[in-house]
Structure 1
Amino acid sequence: MYDSRTLSRKRIAVTDFSFEISEISPVERDIKVSAPEAMFAERSQALFDKLAASAPVKGFRAGKAPRHLVEKMYRARVLKDVQAELMEDGFREAIVRHDLRPVSRPQWKPREYAGQGDFIFSFVVQVLYDLKNVVIDGLTVERERVLVPDDVVDAELERRRQAAAVTKTVEGRSVVADKDWVRVSFEGKMDGEPVAGGKHDNELVEIGSNQFVPGFEEALIGRSAGEACSFTVTFPDDFRVEKLRRKDVVFDCTIHEICERVVPALDDEFAKDMGDYADLAQYRIAVREELEKFETERSKRSFRKRLWQKLVEANSFPLPPVLVDEETRDVAQRRLSEIARYGLNPETLGLKPEEFMAHAREEAENTLRAVLLREKLAEEYGVAVSDAEREAHIQKMAEEMNVELAKVTEYYSAKERLDELDHVLKHDKVSLILEEKVNVVEVDPKPAEPEHDHDHDHDHEHSHEHDSLDAATAPKLILDPNAPLDPPKPEGEKR
């Protein structure tokens, strides 16, 4: 340990660190750091100065103990604290000086230091891959034309007419017959245990619609309103939930009432009831415009999804494992939350845990590559988000949601939410650049894929924006060099 009388009065700067960096893999670095002996000594003496002024030493008042006693008594503590301080400073200096983009905290290697000579320590850190070029040339992406034929408008009008129907209790008849609407509550059990997603209260069932598992609707025929009953249904061989295939499920059911649906006529009066429309012809025009707007947005989302999928497929590069693991957990949690809303889990959907996590990992890797490609392209083409663009987007959101502008502005006053908004706007601008550079092939619309396969139909309002690589929100990719680090272990101690 240096004696304070031999120290130079010149402050030793953190830039006096020296580094040796080895590449373990394209996304992992082994970094050896050397701190000059004089730097260690200066930090030590500064800490001893503080301790000498206040640290308790037996037999002396605070601040009155001889310096050599303070140094002898607190030497081990100072040695440990200065090592930890220099290791954190060395890590941060390595990031800045060598333009590293760490995504993990440093994994410190065991070290020994007795207070003499240069202080040398090492750590391993995962970093983002240094993406040099993004392959765009030669990519071909299909874009669906926006077509709304008359039969689609007719179908939408009929859907709205059916949705406007009112349900009334049937008077003078209590026995369930084919084509009836019946309000029931039920719970399914297999081997005495409740079936996930098999309990519903006050469910409206149309007998003969085949919306439920085969045999369920037929079992209600001939029963009476107010009756509580039990019946067994054998699930079919091809049922989507593997564990229920060919299984007998007992349904405990209460029939509340027999109903009839009164559907309004598709005429001018119906149109007037639907809004400020003079007649059915005017309402039909409005419905077509709504469908065209919807199809335009759907075509855009579908095109963007294919665009980013093609880009990711054409640009494969390694990802830091710690980043993939974290994003995989996030994806898995989102998927579990989604299916839990329907009382389901991976097992009931016939997915083994390892299969479920494999799907989540694949989605996580694709998302991360899309985000990194977007950031690289944004840098390459100088894409930035201005205050005016943020304000315009917030104004548009307020108008579309019919919410006061001040409330939306306040929502985005938090930095993390403003960052999310910037991700959305940047993603949109980069996507527009890509659209101009790829080969776009116009094709006729493809049949829409069902979003979920439920036992029966319900109206579900939920967003699937994150299902595609067009999702503009981004995981946090780079470790903040100013964030608190895990404290380095004492000398010689393994992590």
Structure 2
Amino acid sequence: MQVTETLAEGLKREYKVVISAADIDEKVGARLEKLKDEVRIPGFRPGKVPTSLVKKRFGQAVLGEVLQNALQDSSKQALDERGLRPAAQPDVEVVSFEEGKDLEYDLKLEILPEIEPIAFEEIELERVVVEPTDEQVQEGLDRLAQQQRSTKPLEEERPAASGDVLVVDFKGTVDGEAFPGMEAEDHHLELGSNSFVAGFEEQLVGKNKGDDVEVRVTFPEAYGNEKLAGKEAVFQVQVKDVLQAVPAAIDDELAKSLGQESLDELKERLRESLSNEYQQASRSLIKRKLLDALAERASFPAPEKLVDMEFGGIWQRIEEDRKADRLDEEDKGKDEETLKREYRAIAERRVRLGLLLAEVGRQEAIEVSQEELQQALIGEMRRYPGQEQALFEFYQKNPAALANLRGPLLEEKVVDHILEKAKVSERTTDRDGLMAELEAIDSAPEVPSQASSEAAAPAPESAPESAPESDAVAPADEAAAAKTDAGADEDSGKGA
């Protein structure tokens, strides 16, 4: 094999690779000899089939197999010998080949950039600490009591108000045609619950028991059923009864109905839940600030191919949001060139962060254990009740999808590792203060909140399609393919 470097510019490398005809012929001959002992041809004993006959029948298929293996093996050898770490799958383009002649091809790739170590101990961060208050625990109790509410007839008949439960029969049509799911009898509808299409419940406020009402609503443009999306619907509604919703009493019986021994124990569980919630919010905040600090220090070049892939995913979502009229108000006033420039900068940030976190994980030998991966898989399966077995089999058959579970776990461990080295102080605040800080950092310009997905094999019809969210994108062949949920607003492309 002869390898000649033809380009070394920045991260880009190109090589001309020549594999001699003699080497190809030798591999083809060896494969035919092996195949001779495997094939079964009438009239010949096993292993006694003439090589000439095997070549006549299978020669072209064997040649194709040998060429494919030669391309893979020789390109890997060329990279290994030069100590190159490709940022993405190299491009291989055959320049010339004829049977009996040399195989010549071009090998093009981008390598991973050199990443200088960062002095993590020089990064100063602040962790916000929030403790749940008695008032917040009481708010939680009130919500539970409302969720466990019952209904009772009105003591005196009156018009329906928000919060009341109506017993209704309804039947809807679009352009005079009835569709499945648009009719029901004795349906209990809570006014103000927003469980129906926008505008439906509001038109029933003020109605009385026995009223027949014509309700007109328009389905959203982004409605799941394409036949109904953006269409006006007419519902004939009969109000059969108006019931009053009564919250459950906040006592030991409420606690027992929720699986706790007493009201005091329920309060303690609520306090723990709130504490975990605030800790997670605080974690998101400090992680986001850490990523911003790392992004400022990640000045190395980003492989263009990775940026193109990441930008392509972002821009596809932007196009979808534009068609569905879901773009941020700020973005609606920008021309396409401006939007592409801004979102490409976001893609570059994500790639650099991913490469940086991946490199820290590699250098520090941070790994995800099989037990941790198993727990993540169990958690993913719980998200899709009834599809657990299909999802399990999907991940078994798709290593790339399993890597999508490993990536976020590894990233969290890398982030923890960096936080342990950074200068982290603590500051106490209240819930509103924490939420205000999260909102403020989520609205910072030029910082992405849109999750970016790793390249993953498509999910089969029997399994839900899922991909982890990220503000960092690492090369697919890196064990530490870092991912981050900084920002967490999946519906906006930036601004988190």
Q: TM-score range by the shorter chain?
A: 0.5 to 0.7
Residues 183 and 467 (structure 1), Cα distance of their counterparts in 2 relative to 1, 3 Å cut: farther
Residue in 2 that maps onto 1:446: 434
Residues 40 and 474 (structure 1), Cα distance of their counterparts in 2 relative to 1, 3 Å cut: closer
Query: How do 1:24-423 residues align onto structure 2 when only pairs under 5 Å count?
Result: 24-26=9-11, 28-36=12-20, 38-39=22-23, 42-43=26-27, 63=50, 86-102=70-86, 103-108=88-93, 110-111=95-96, 120-134=104-118, 136=120, 138-168=122-152, 170=154, 173=157, 175-176=159-160, 180-182=164-166, 204-206=189-191, 217=202, 220-222=205-207, 224-225=209-210, 227-231=212-216, 252=235, 254-256=237-239, 257-278=241-262, 280-327=263-310, 347-350=324-327, 365-385=348-368, 390=372, 416=399, 419=403, 422-423=406-407
Following superposition, the deviation at residue 250 of structure 1 comes to: 6.8
TM-score (norm 1): 0.60
Q: Note the residue ranges of structure 2 that are not aligned, 5 or more in a row.
A: 40-48, 224-229, 443-465, 480-496
Residues 179 and 363 (structure 1), Cα distance of their counterparts in 2 relative to 1, 3 Å cut: same
Residues 135 and 21 (structure 1), Cα distance of their counterparts in 2 relative to 1, 3 Å cut: farther
CA distance in 1, matches of 2:476, 2:51: 51
Following superposition, the deviation at residue 305 of structure 1 comes to: 3.5
TM-score (norm 2): 0.60
Aligned residue pairs: how many? 413
1:104–1:127 Cα contact (<8 Å) kept? no
CA distance in 2, matches of 1:119, 1:264: 79
2:211–2:238 Cα contact (<8 Å) kept? yes
Moved more, 146-155 or 215-224: 215-224
Larger RCO, structure (CA 8 Å, separation 6 or more): 1
**Per the alignment, in what secondary structure is the counterpart of residue 434 of structure 2?**
coil
Residue in 2 that maps onto 1:476: 476
CA distance in 2, matches of 1:395, 1:476: 20
CA distance in 1, matches of 2:92, 2:408: 34
CA distance in 2, matches of 1:86, 1:158: 69
CA deviation vs aligned residue, 1:428-451 (integer Å, no higher than 9, x gap):
332222102333343434227799
Following superposition, the deviation at residue 371 of structure 1 comes to: 3.0
1:430 matches 2:414: yes
1:305–1:468 Cα contact (<8 Å) kept? no
CA distance in 2, matches of 1:133, 1:123: 30
Residue in 2 that maps onto 1:11: none
CA distance in 2, matches of 1:169, 1:142: 54
Moved more, 366-375 or 411-420: 411-420
Following superposition, the deviation at residue 108 of structure 1 comes to: 0.8
**Per the alignment, in what secondary structure is the counterpart of residue 416 of structure 2?**
helix
1:101–1:478 Cα contact (<8 Å) kept? no
- Over aligned residues, Cα RMSD in angstroms? 5.9
2:17–2:106 Cα contact (<8 Å) kept? yes
1:183–1:258 Cα contact (<8 Å) kept? yes
CA distance in 2, matches of 1:440, 1:325: 35
Following superposition, the deviation at residue 229 of structure 1 comes to: 0.3
Moved more, 253-262 or 356-365: 356-365
Q: Which has the larger radius of gyration?
A: 1
**Per the alignment, in what secondary structure is the counterpart of residue 127 of structure 2?**
strand
1:52–1:65 Cα contact (<8 Å) kept? no
CA distance in 2, matches of 1:358, 1:253: 50
CA distance in 1, matches of 2:109, 2:172: 52
CA distance in 1, matches of 2:31, 2:315: 48
Moved more, 90-99 or 103-112: 103-112
Residues 113 and 130 (structure 1), Cα distance of their counterparts in 2 relative to 1, 3 Å cut: farther
CA deviation vs aligned residue, 1:337-394 (integer Å, no higher than 9, x gap):
xx9xxxx98524246796998898666555443332222001222323456x649968
CA distance in 2, matches of 1:308, 1:326: 21
2:203–2:215 Cα contact (<8 Å) kept? no
CA distance in 2, matches of 1:313, 1:187: 58
CA distance in 1, matches of 2:72, 2:255: 70
Following superposition, the deviation at residue 47 of structure 1 comes to: 7.8
CA deviation vs aligned residue, 1:37-91 (integer Å, no higher than 9, x gap):
653564577689899999xxxxxxx95989xxx99xx999999887666444422
Residue in 2 that maps onto 1:20: 5
CA distance in 2, matches of 1:208, 1:90: 64
Following superposition, the deviation at residue 165 of structure 1 comes to: 0.6
Following superposition, the deviation at residue 147 of structure 1 comes to: 2.0
CA distance in 2, matches of 1:297, 1:115: 65
